[in-house]
Amino acid sequence: MSQPIIEVENLSKRYRLGAIGATTLREEFSGWWERRRGRTVVADARDFWALRDISFTVQPGEVVGVIGRNGAGKSTLLKILSRITEPTSGRAVLRGRVASLLEVGTGFHPDLSGRENIFLNGAILGMTRAEVRRKFDEIVAFAEVEKFIDTPVKRYSSGMYVRLAFAVAAHLEPEILIIDEVLAVGDAQFQKKCLGKMGSVAAQDGRTVLFVSHNLAAVESLCSRALYLEAGRLKLASSTAAVERQFLADLATGGGSGAGSAGTVRNRHPDLIVEDFTAIARDTPTTGAKAGEPIAFRLRYRCANPAAFSDGISVSVIFHVRGQRLLNLWSSAGRGAPFSVQEQGEITCEVPRWPFRTGPVRVDVHASYRMQNILEWDEALVVDSIDGDYYGTGVVPHESEGLMFLPHHWRG
Amino acid sequence: MSFPTATPAPAVETVIAPTRGWRFLDTRELWAYRDLLGLLVWRDFATRYKQTVLGPLWFVVQPLLMTLVFILFGKVARIDLGQTPPVLFYLCGQLPWNYFAQTFQSTSVTFTNNSGLFGKVYFPRLIVPLAAVVSNLLSMAIQLVTFGIFFAVLKCGAHGANFGLTSGIILLPLALLQVAALSLGVGLWVTALTAKFRDFSILATFAIQLWLYATPVIYPLSQVPVKWHWLVALNPMTLSEEFFRHALLGTDVPSPLLMAASLAATGLVLAGGLLVFQRVEKTFVDVV
């Protein structure tokens, strides 16, 4: 057994919620004064452990996926391993040159040409000028921007921009490559190309890759092993298949915190209190839904001061499948008019035919007033969807043929 | 790594753990990123005057306009400049001061202007302010040329005997180094403090304006009453001003006391700046 290339021991990261954000001197001073006078602020209650006692090892040449819900600590883990921020306790040893790609195009300057940005971005990512020069033609060819290489990147289409940025990063030659979500950008064909490149990097050159993604399909195709983070802890480290099974099972049951009402309500306006958010089928609350059947989403609220929302509010019900935001039903678009707010009320979004294929569907509910978010409840529900006879023909395409159904007609 | 292994030890091993106490300088790492420093400097040159009409000519126009204002002000306030032609006096005075002020301005916003970049990729953060120190040398050089032209023209004129270069010019690069060290030091302090308290960015713009008046840029040190000289000596920019004028215009040599005090102050400011900067950089992204 060779020595692990990544060794993480009891890594923890604490954020002091009160201390996040730049403070003014006055606030800091009053805090200090309070402490001096013995009035201990309940500091511990404001602590938030983004990571708690994470330990794992990665062998050279392994491609390891990191999955988990939003806020599970994936990004924090990558930030620590990329040395962007320090851990609060614990340690990690990385045996080899590390390159991390947490964003595509970091440090690109819009006024500089593609050629110039390749050198600049390469240097920011840790390449020497000589290395970039050696790889230059390959990068340009991979990005398919030969004709525009001396054009300022601000004139690039967003697709070209992303391609160029990824191409630079893909040609880093680190022993350890840390990648976050960057494949969420770019068109499908290019995503495929990037995944292929990453796969070959691992397979042929024996590089080690740590890959965070919401895209389960990508993790599945690239990674032999996966880490599953939940609420800052390492819940499971196992084969990708086993981790994915557990992850999907947790999603369907709301992560063990009871069906529905998982997730967190953020950005709550003090005057608008959410009572509940429920999926309703055949007049009864449900956690599951069959494709093709009607379903409704009901938001119930109380409002201490309806006058604060005199222009009326708008509501969004957002659906995620496999970590991808697939659909946003926004009342301003679907209804056209805002909802007036009462002291107590409910707003219902009726979907005549549930369009999603088998699997968990995450449902977020957001509300806004005058374009300001007053409610952001991500993962308010997880609806366990199953295939149904959506088209009424008795024929349903194979599960691998897509994520949703769509009303349509054929002629001929 | 205490046990023998079959695999050869890799060239690089990074240990990530909470830092205890203060770090000073990791020169080896800075050296490894020298290409990035070079490219950042070059980026500054290449992008600063994109979409401007005058381009680098601004480096000429700006000090000339200021000189004009200073001359008028000097006439009104009846400042005694000695034998030196006012144009040269003010142009020379602006050489170290503008470099100081510009470098301070760019280094003092290191954290606030680069929070996006710093949050996404690691490299020694010190590279960014160091690049500012280097790239501002360009405007310094252009101003030096402007000064040289006026110097040459006036030297041939009627008052040509009243001023001239001295052997102090050999030490001019060192004097410039002191200005660089001071502006970097002050800038690092301010950006480190600004990372947490935005109050300091407001204070800094204000302080730099006041600092100009506390420095013999638009008046000679000889105009300051002798009993206040100790106070002026606390300001390390006084030495820079005096030394530049000594080297380029032949005014008196700055006193050893002034030199010692200024160099010591510069060293302290820079060392302290490096310490606080590196203290802040390790968790800066958590408090943005």
- Residues B47-77: pLDDT tens digits? 877 767 777 788 888 889 999 999 998 888 8
Q: Which of the residue ranges A306-320, A385-399, B6-20, B114-128 would you say has the lowest mean pLDDT?
A: B6-20
Contact at CB, B35 and A20, closer than 8 angstroms: no
For residue B7, which residues of chain A lie inside 8 Å, CB to CB? 2-3, 60
Report residue A9's pLDDT band, with 50, 70 and 90 as the boundaries: very high
A275: alpha, beta or left? (left if phi > 0; alpha if psi -120 to 50): alpha
Distance from CA of A353 to the nearest CA of B (A): 42
At residue A187, the pLDDT reads 61
CB A317 within 8 A of CB A290: no
* Contact residues, chain B, for A47 at CB < 8 Å: none
Chain B nearest-CA distance from A173, in A, is 13
Q: Which residues of A touch B17 (CB under 8 A)?
A: 86-87, 90-92
Give the tokens for residue A185: 């950008």
Enter the tokens of residue B11: 């060239």
**SS3 call for A399:** helix
- With cut-offs at 50, 70 and 90, classify the pLDDT of residue A380: confident
Average pLDDT over residues A189-203: 73
Question: Residue A386: which pLDDT band, with cuts at 50, 70 and 90?
Answer: confident
Residue B103 one-letter amino acid: T
Query: Which pLDDT belongs to residue B8?
Result: 42
Q: Does B282 touch chain A (CB under 8 A)?
A: yes
A124 has pLDDT over 60: yes
Among A23, A107, A128, whose Cβ lies nearest the Cβ of B196? A23
pTM of the model: 0.72
Q: Which of A172-176, A345-349, B60-64, B88-92 has the lowest mean pLDDT?
A: A172-176
pLDDT of residue A299: 92
Q: At which residue do the structure tokens 């690092």 appear?
A: B188
Residue B159 covered by a domain: yes
Domain extent for B231: 27-286
Rounded Cα distance between A107 and B26, Å, is 23
| Residue whose entry in the numeric block shows the structure tokens 């509940």 | A276
| Chain A nearest C-alpha distance from B49 (Å) | 10
Q: What pLDDT does residue A26 have?
A: 64
CA distance B277 to B185: 9
Name the residue facing B120 among A3, A24, A106 (closest C-beta). Answer: A106
Residue with tokens 């001197």: A25
Q: Can you give the pLDDT at residue A251?
A: 60
Mean pLDDT across chain B: 86
* C-beta atoms of A98 and B14 within 8 A: yes
Question: Which residue is listed with tokens 């201490």?
Answer: A304
Residue A17, pLDDT score: 63
The pLDDT score that the predictor gives to residue A274 is 84
> Would you say residue B108 lies in a domain?
yes
Which is more confidently placed, A183 or A382? A382
Residue A247 has, within 13 A of its CA and on its CB side, a CA count of: 33
Contact A252, A386 (CB under 8 A): no
pLDDT reading at A42 higher than 60: no
Q: How far A207 CA sits from the closest chain B CA (Å)?
A: 13
Residues in A touching B10 (Cβ below 8 Å)? 5, 95-96, 175
B85 vs A256: which has the higher pLDDT: B85
- Its CATH class, for the domain covering A6-252, is alpha beta
Using an 8 Å Cβ cutoff, are B258 and B242 in contact? yes
Question: Nearest-CA residue of chain A relative to B119?
Answer: A84
Indicate the pLDDT class of residue A395, thresholds 50, 70 and 90: confident
Residues facing residue A278 across a β-bridge: A298
Judged against a pLDDT cut of 70, whether residue A31 lies above it is answered with no
Q: Residue B20, exposed/middle/buried by CB under 10 A (0-12, 13-18, 19+)?
A: exposed
| Inside any domain, residue B11 | no
Per-residue pLDDT averaged across A126-137, rounded?
90
Beta bridge partners of A180: A212
**Confidence class of residue A20 from pLDDT cuts 50, 70 and 90?**
very low
Indicate the burial class of B226 (C-beta count within 10 angstroms; 0-12, 13-18, 19 or more).
exposed
CATH topology of domain A264-401: Coagulation Factor XIII; Chain A, domain 1 (2.70.50)
DSSP-derived secondary structure letter, A110: T
> Measured between CB atoms, does B197 come within 8 Å of chain A?
yes
Beta bridge pairs of residue B14: A94
What sign for the dihedral angle of Cα B77, B83, B86, B90?
negative
Q: Report pLDDT digits (tens) over B164-181.
A: 888 888 999 999 999 999
**Residues on chain B touching A49 (C-beta within 8 angstroms):** none
Half-sphere exposure at residue A373, Cβ-oriented, CA atoms within 13 angstroms: 12
Closest residue of B to A100, CA-based?
B121
CA-nearest residue of chain A to B16? A92
Q: Phi, psi (5° rounding) for residue A302?
A: -120, 150
Instruction: Report yes or no: A394 and A377 within 8 Å, Cβ to Cβ.
Output: no
Q: Which residues of A touch B131 (CB under 8 A)?
A: none
- Average pLDDT score over residue span B114-123: 87
Distance, CA of B100 to CA of A121 (rounded, Å): 29
Please provide residue B133's backbone torsions phi and psi, each rounded to the nearest 5 degrees. -60, -45
Hey, how many other C-beta atoms are within 10 angstroms of the C-beta on A204?
Answer: 8
Q: Highest-confidence range of A215-229, A248-262, B105-119, by mean pLDDT?
A: B105-119
Residue of B nearest to A122 (CA): B36
Q: State the pLDDT at residue A81.
A: 93
Q: CA torsion angle for B141, B145, B151, B154 (degrees, to 10)?
A: -150
What was the pLDDT predicted at A93?
94
DSSP B51: T
pLDDT band at B139 (very low <50, low <70, confident <90, very high): confident
DSSP element (H, E) containing B179:
helix B172-196
Computed over every residue of chain A, the mean pLDDT equals 82
Pairing of strands A288-290, A344-351: unpaired
pLDDT tens track for B243-277: 999 999 888 888 888 899 899 999 999 999 999 99
* d(C-alpha A205, C-alpha A210), whole Å: 15
Please count the structural domains in chain B.
1
Whether A79 and A85 have beta carbons less than 8 Å apart is answered as: yes
Q: What is the ipTM of this complex?
A: 0.80
Coarse DSSP helix, strand, coil percentages of chain A, rounded to the nearest 5 percent: 30, 35, 35
pLDDT value for A46: 64
- C-alpha distances in angstroms, B40 versus A159, A296, B33, B37, B47? 26, 55, 11, 5, 10
d(CA A345, CA B135): 62
Residue A182: pLDDT above 80? no
A44 vs A310, more confident: A310
Judge contact between A362 and A256, C-beta under 8 A.
Answer: no
